[in-house]
Amino acid sequence: MQSFRTELENPIVEKEIIELERKIREYQEGKIAEEKFRSLRLARGVYGQRQPGVQMVRIKLPFGKVTFKQLLRIADISDEYASHNLHLTTRQDIQIHYVSLDRTPELWAKLAQDDITLREACGNTVRNVTASPNAGIDPEEPFDVSPYAHALFSYFLRNPICQEMGRKFKVAFSSSERDTAFSYVHDLGLIPKIRVVEGQEERGFKVMLGGGLGAQPMIAYVVHDFLPENQLIPYAESVIRVFDRYGERNNRNKARFKFLIQKMGLEEVLRLIDEERIANKTKSFAIDWDAVPQPAPPVVLQVAEEPIDQFRYEIWKKTNVYSQKQVGFHSVYVKVPTGDLPTVNARKLIDGIQQHIADEIRITQNQGLLLKFVREQSLPHVFNVLDRLGLAAPGFDSVADVTTCPGTDTCNLGISNSTEMARVLEQLIYDEYADLVFNRELKIKISGCMNSCGQHGLAHIGFHGSSLKASGKVVPAAQVMLGGGTLGDGLGRAADRVVKVPSKRVTDVLRYILDDYAAHGMEGELFHDYYDRQTKDYFYRLLKPLADLTTLTDDEFVDWGHEETFHTAIGVGECAGVVIDLVATLLLEAKEKLDWANASYQAGAYADAIYHAYSVFISAAKALLLDKGINSSSHHGILKDFDAHFVETGELAIAGGFGERVLQINKHDPSEVFARQYLAAAIDFYEATKAKREVKDTVNV
């Protein structure tokens, strides 16, 4: 693998790739525990998939931005290492599947040549920072949020404070009050605002905190109506520090930030966030407004006239084409069925339109593509290119544009097939409710399980995979969710669970709902208002006949897209971290973090050195606690338990207590003097725990 290493220009990335290769080898030789290795590879975008022996690789694309060259590079990678397909995700990433673990370092190195990263695309980290795909061209935006999303992505990438949290942390920037990035279901959601102070305009953000989907969706709290732009990064850092210290680490089902707020109360969490600010690397962070410049519009001197299906073109233009805030230019939204783009089509797409659009494509939250800076005279050509590739279906982001996760195609947690269900429901709309391609106020979303990767929890009409039992057999089923969706300006609704039906009956569920809405909805009444007026119970009674299992037919025991009788085969999910419960592993981890702390200190990165030293305290203390059979559920719990079982019992003498010593981290600025003192204390503590462990091992021998 020497050849690909020497091609990299970024020494940090090169070091990470070499390290990944070494860790893979050590894991295969049995030198690294499965739990520890899983955490390591997830933080590098390598995710086990349903099929044994192969991996899903998630490619991290901040706010969904990808250039022609990058998209072609990813297509090449998928052809060489994966399954000749690009899967666009609801978090604006691209996933490729069926990758051999051994080849992931080489794959990463080739992606890095075009400034593409896998780092922290999975695992207990700050995940991909998402944003409204039309940020920068949105006629309603106060300002372009892209540079802010880029700054936050860059600041937390490889940042010591968020490498091994209890769970993932998600951030979204919406371009306007329409909230098209769904700020209200994120750990940290942001909507741009401008205020005028003494005649001067100031940029800032409305801040939403503690939202999330999953099996227990929660709507975020509005915690700031206006946070000045220079406080965005410091505030986010304080939030993440609190999550890292107090977040649950044992029970993955309670380990998201929303549950921390639920447990401690919003007021206490906000107090802790404020308390943490002194330790931040920076107290004010100036955002470079030009960090994400608008791409140059294409120069189209003359466009040859082409034959065109005028009727279909006009419908497509009404539903998929929008005027940008830049006068004379249009954005074109591309509906990508189930988010799957074969690599051969990706190449044909770029080849056909690259002279007619700007060199910047955005992946959308509903698994489509956004093309920017298209001139009026290029629209027929762009339509024809898309049409030849099967990508010119009308109704982008309408009821006919169904969002879905991969489900049982590749996901360990998938219960039922969501992709074929999506295709069937979309075709039903086109065949029976064609006028609804113009309706962008009604959304259908599907997940293969309750975890909401397909965003069913924020859909007007949502489904998630489940199962039922009948006649001694298992029936593939769908949980029907109704009434979710965006209200605007940081407000939203989580969908209600209404009824569970056999999966093959979701077509009738959709017919019942749409027909009832058409028959009984008031003139101009939005679905949310209609749903509230009729009530959840009304829809339960409407759909209850479809839940009758006494009328099952043989084909209903077979899932969508399958030929064999259904059975549940759920694996172990990897989105959350695992508890590392090996004492020796934790002590080795503490030593590794001590090395990182020393290196950061020598480099003058004092804030990083301090946080690495903090991690030394935590890992070493947890090792000794586990040696006593005590498994603390958070970093804060480790501090308390160590004092109770080691300091207060006199087993280890620490003046003032262990918790007091460690929590000096949030009582001092990250200066060189404090970094030196704190690092020295961490070294002393590590040496003491190692000596204690060695004494015990000697006694046991």
User: What are the tens digits of pLDDT across the range 533-560?
Assistant: 999 999 999 999 999 999 999 999 998 8
3-state secondary structure of 665: helix
Handedness of CA 651, 652, 654, 659 (dihedral sign): negative
Q: What is the reported pLDDT for 301?
A: 66
3-state secondary structure of 483: coil
Q: What is the reported pLDDT for 581?
A: 39
* Residues whose CB is less than 8 angstroms from the CB of residue 211 and which lie 6 or more positions away in sequence, other chains included: 183, 184, 185, 186, 187, 189, 218, 219, 220, 221, 258, 492
Q: What is the reported pLDDT for 306?
A: 84
pLDDT digits (tens, 9 = 90+) for 206-265: 999 999 998 899 999 999 999 999 999 999 999 999 999 999 999 988 999 999 999 999
Q: Is pLDDT above 60 for 700? A: no
Three-state helix/strand/coil letters over 308-329? CCHHHHHHHHHHHEEECCCCCE
In angstroms, the CA 590 to CA 687 distance is: 10
The pLDDT-based confidence of 4 (bands split at 50, 70, 90) is very low
Q: Is pLDDT above 80 for 6? A: no
The number of angstroms, rounded, from the C-alpha of 148 to the middle of its chain's C-alpha atoms is 17
CB 7 within 8 A of CB 109: yes
Least confident of 3-7, 454-458, 504-508: 3-7
3-state secondary structure of 33: coil
Q: What is the reported pLDDT for 593?
A: 94
Three-state helix/strand/coil letters over 15-35? HHHHHHHHHHHHHHCCCCCHH
CB 54 within 8 A of CB 83: no
Q: What is the reported pLDDT for 584?
A: 77
- The one-letter code for the residue type at 367 is Q
Q: Is pLDDT above 90 for 2? A: no
Average pLDDT, the chain: 92
Q: What is the pTM of this model?
A: 0.93
Token pair of 241 as six digits:
């520090």
Token pair of 545 as six digits:
């006949």
In angstroms, the CA 665 to CA 607 distance is: 10
Q: Is pLDDT above 60 for 5? A: no
3-state secondary structure of 385: helix
Q: Which of 172, 226, 167 is nearest to 62 (CA)?
A: 172
The pLDDT-based confidence of 697 (bands split at 50, 70, 90) is low
Give the percent of the chain with pLDDT over 90: 80
pLDDT digits (tens, 9 = 90+) for 661-684: 999 999 999 999 999 999 999 999
Q: What is the reported pLDDT for 509?
A: 98
Q: What is the reported pLDDT for 424?
A: 96
Q: List 94's β-bridge partners, or say none.
A: 59, 88
Least confident of 90-94, 103-107, 310-314, 568-572: 568-572
Give the percent of the chain with pLDDT over 70: 95
3-state secondary structure of 468: strand
In angstroms, the CA 67 to CA 360 distance is: 5
* Residues whose CB is less than 8 angstroms from the CB of residue 496 and which lie 6 or more positions away in sequence, other chains included: 481, 482, 483, 484, 536
Which residue did the predictor score with more confidence, 514 or 694?
514
The pLDDT-based confidence of 576 (bands split at 50, 70, 90) is very low
The number of angstroms, rounded, from the C-alpha of 375 to the middle of its chain's C-alpha atoms is 33
Q: Is pLDDT above 60 for 698? A: no
Q: Which of 363, 342, 331 is nearest to 91 (CA)?
A: 363
Task: Locate the DSSP E strands across 511-613.
Answer: none
CB 358 within 8 A of CB 134: no
Q: What is the reported pLDDT for 573?
A: 52
Q: Is pLDDT above 90 for 150? A: yes
In angstroms, the CA 679 to CA 672 distance is: 10
Q: Which of 575, 559, 477 is nearest to 213 (CA)?
A: 575
Q: What is the reported pLDDT for 29?
A: 85
Provide mean pLDDT across the span 132-158: 98
The pLDDT-based confidence of 696 (bands split at 50, 70, 90) is low
Residue 349 backbone dihedrals phi, psi, to 5 degrees: -60, -50
Q: What is the reported pLDDT for 3?
A: 42
Ranges of H-type helices in 570-671: 583-602, 606-627, 635-642, 658-662
pLDDT digits (tens, 9 = 90+) for 369-408: 999 999 999 999 999 999 999 999 999 999 999 999 887 7
On the CB side of 278, how many CA atoms lie within 13 Å of its CA?
11
In angstroms, the CA 105 to CA 418 distance is: 31
CB 585 within 8 A of CB 627: no
Token pair of 459 as six digits:
């859909």
Q: Is pLDDT above 90 for 303? A: no
On the CB side of 469, how many CA atoms lie within 13 Å of its CA?
1
Provide mean pLDDT across the span 488-494: 97
In angstroms, the CA 558 to CA 553 distance is: 10
How large is the C-alpha radius of gyration of the chain?
26
Whose tokens are 């944003």? That residue is: 131
Q: Please, what are the domains in the chain?
A: 2-112 (3.90.480.20), 130-279 (3.30.413.10), 310-388 (3.30.70.3340), 403-557 (3.30.413.10), 583-700 (1.20.120.330)
Q: What is the reported pLDDT for 695?
A: 62
Q: Is pLDDT above 90 for 565? A: no
For residue 120, what is the DSSP state?
A: T
Token pair of 106 as six digits:
């080489």
Q: Is pLDDT above 90 for 575? A: no
> What are the distances in angstroms from CA 598 to CA 607, 612, 668, 669?
12, 9, 19, 18
